[in-house]
Structures are given as C-alpha cells and as structure tokens.
Structure 1
Amino acid sequence: MTLAPDQIERDVFQYQRMRDVAERLQDSVPGKLEITLEGIVHDMMSPGGPHELTAARVSRRLEKVMPEGLLAHTGTPDVEDIARGVLRHPDVMVISEKDMEVEGPFDPRSLVAAIEVVSRSNPDNDWVGKIRDYPLLGIPLYVIFDPRTGEGAVFSEIHPTASGPRYASRKDFVYGEDVTIGEWTISTENLPRYS
C-alpha cells in the first residue's frame, strides 16, 4: 500500500499524539504501554519472577556465546519507527554496543534479534501483534519463550506479502531442547514456568 504525503503526515501526527498519551499514562498504570498499528497496547501486569528470570537467563546464555561487541540487552529504551507508527519494548534485544550509542529509542533495524517472554496477562501481544510488527520494523529474528506452555518459536526470513512483511520461517522448540538464535545456540534447560 502506498500512502500519499498528506496521509503520512497525518499518520505521524496521530502516532505522536498516541505516544504523548502513552508517556503521560505510563507512570500511573501498572505494566507497560506499547504502540502498534492498531493503537496503544496495555500489558496490564508488571512482569513477575518467572518472566524476568527467563529474560535474564536467556540474556546471560546468549552473551556467553556471542562475540564481543554484541549484547543481549534487557533494559530500556524502546525500539521505535515513527514513520510506521510503532513503539515496542522487547524483553531482550540482541544489538551491537555501537548501535546503543544513541539518544532516545533504538532504531529497530539495528537489532539482530528481538526476544519476548510471553506475559501471562496478554499472550496475544507476543504471539500475534509482535509477529506482525517485528518484520514490519525490519527485525530479522524474533524469538518467543512461553512460560505458560514451556514452548517457544524462532521466526526468521522476512519476505513481502499482500498484507505487509512477514516471517517466512518458524522453528518451534520445547523447554529442555537447545535453541538456535541466528548463529548462536543456547540451552533452554531450567527456564521457569508459570504456576
């Protein structure tokens, strides 16, 4: 789909208004706010122990096998594409230290991979919304760890479709197996599950 310049400006203006609302609300609501093509997404619960422990263990395991200069970052800032009207916050971002030397949100195209730990309160955000948004943002690898089921998936190979860019490849795994993320393989042993 092609947008005329006045449509792009209107979309950027609308996105900026949503971003302003999300920033004002973020400190007064539990959980986190993200902006998608469909509007503001509110993941109502703050991540709990199993969620955060999964992100930390995945991050540490990746950093042990990745080369110097790459990080499996679990902090802020968000990734943002103003032109596409999307603001997301991956649980773990594989990104070079050099690409982190910016003020404000990271450019999503600088990420090597986005990794999400499925939240208990809004699993569709990870299994539906981010599968749509991350290839649109140009993130080449998207990995999901799901503590609800003890399973996950690695999505790769962005290709064009009639409804926009999508991942062409999906490789499922179960906790206990090794998983390959890009060039690196890590164990999924001892990842916590939701009770």
Structure 2
Amino acid sequence: MTIAPDNARQGASPHRYRAMRDFVESTDDTIPGKFEITKEGIVHDMMSPIGRHELTTLRLRKRLEKLMPEEIVAHTGRPDVEDEPEGIMRRPDIMVIAEADMEGQGAFDPRTLIAAVEIVSRSNPDNDWVTKLRDYPLIGIPVYAVFDPRTGTGAVLTDIHNTPGGPRYATRKDFVYGEDVTIADWTIPTDGLPRYEAEGDERH
C-alpha cells in the first residue's frame, strides 16, 4: 500500500520529506509491516515477512557470505539506505556492503552499497518489480537482484545509465530458480530456494 501526498508524484519538498521520515521513524516497531519512502510517498508493506520470504533471505545471505571476503558482508535489517535530496528511504532485504561503510550514525549512503537484493513480497510485488527498479538506480545502487518466490524466477540489473526519465539500469539478466546467478563479483546457486505456496497457505 502506498500512502501518497497529493503532490508526491512531482517529488516531495525537503520539509515534506522530513515529515514523512519522522512519521516512518515514529511508527517503526509499533505498526506491523515495513515502511519505506519513495517518490510516490510512504510505502507500507503491511505483512511482516515470514516463512519462505525469510528463509530465502537467510539462504541467499549465507551463500553470498561464503564467497565474499571477510570485510564484505551481506547485511539484513536496519538501518535504511537514504538519499534525502532525492526523497527516498529504502530498506533492502539484503545489502552487500563493506563493513567499513557501515560505521557511523544514521542511514547508510546508498552509493556505498555493492548490491541490493530483494525477495519479492506476495502482498506488494510492484514495490520490488516497479518502484525499486526505478529508485535504486536513481540513488546509485550499482547492482539490484530480485528473487520472486511467487514464480521461481528473478533478475539481476546492472549498468546504470542516464535516460530521459532519469537513471535506469541498462542491463537485465533474467534467471529461473536452479540456475547460477552472478551478483556483483559472486556467483551463487539458486537451487533449494523456497517458493510461495498457494494463496492462503503462506501469508507472505
């Protein structure tokens, strides 16, 4: 669900963005789900990720960290990544980032991320396939990998370039579960990743 101010599609003013950020911070841990800020306003994924979503996150994190040097981590959880001038605050399911770039206070600078990985939410798939596909190149995340347990497919997007509509990924490599997938410098298997059950059997 998107909670959008009337003029959000034209971009939020700094004052309006700070008001939205204050609202998101005040509701963290008090309302179920995850809040993020995008060009349309506040996005609320109303269901907390459970079950197969979290299992996919865990398996991908472990597979990446098995290959990565010790100083690079596949981080899950807080803090967010934030580009205040663009009016965007996101929380990727997995952030591939150097430990040194995690130091300091507040949100991560999105341009320090090596890659962002998202597991598509059953309750709001457009957030991963549409708005993040636009937001992540805009804030400088060089690699965006999407895993979709609804279909057992995904894509890795790279090579940010400028277009009339703003920065976009130029290269997209689609995959199906079972194939090896390269995210930044690391190639991992996708076998054994769970799929969502029929509607009603899996809440997320």
- TM-score computed with the length of structure 2 as normaliser: 0.89
- In the other structure, the counterpart of 2:188 is 186
Root mean square deviation, CA, Å: 0.9
Counterpart of 2:48 (choices 32, 46, 49) is: 46
* 1:100-147 deviation digits (Å, cap 9, x = unpaired): 012111000000000000011000000000000000010000000000
Counterpart of 2:115 (choices 109, 113, 116) is: 113
* 1:25-48 deviation digits (Å, cap 9, x = unpaired): 333321100000110001010001
Structure 2 unaligned runs (5+)? 1-11, 198-204
- In the other structure, the counterpart of 1:64 is 66
- In the other structure, the counterpart of 2:5 is none
Q: Which runs of 4+ in 1 moved over 6 A?
A: none
- In the other structure, the counterpart of 2:174 is 172
Q: Which moved more, 1:182-191 or 1:22-31?
A: 22-31
Which secondary structure state, in structure 2, belongs to the residue aligned with residue 83 of structure 1? helix
How many aligned residue pairs are there? Answer: 186
Q: Percent identity?
A: 66
* 1:141-188 deviation digits (Å, cap 9, x = unpaired): 000000000000000000001111000000000011110111110000
Q: CA deviation at 1:68?
A: 2.0
Which secondary structure state, in structure 1, belongs to the residue aligned with residue 159 of structure 2? strand
- In the other structure, the counterpart of 2:126 is 124
Structure 2 distance, partners of 1:112, 1:71, is 10
Q: CA deviation at 1:12?
A: 1.3
- TM-score computed with the length of structure 1 as normaliser: 0.93
Q: CA deviation at 1:57?
A: 0.6
Structure 1 unaligned runs (5+)? 1-9
Taking the TM superposition and a 5 Å limit, the aligned residue runs for 1:127-142 are 127-142=129-144
Which secondary structure state, in structure 2, belongs to the residue aligned with residue 55 of structure 1? helix
The amino acid across from 1:63 in the alignment is E
Structure 1 distance, partners of 2:22, 2:78, is 18
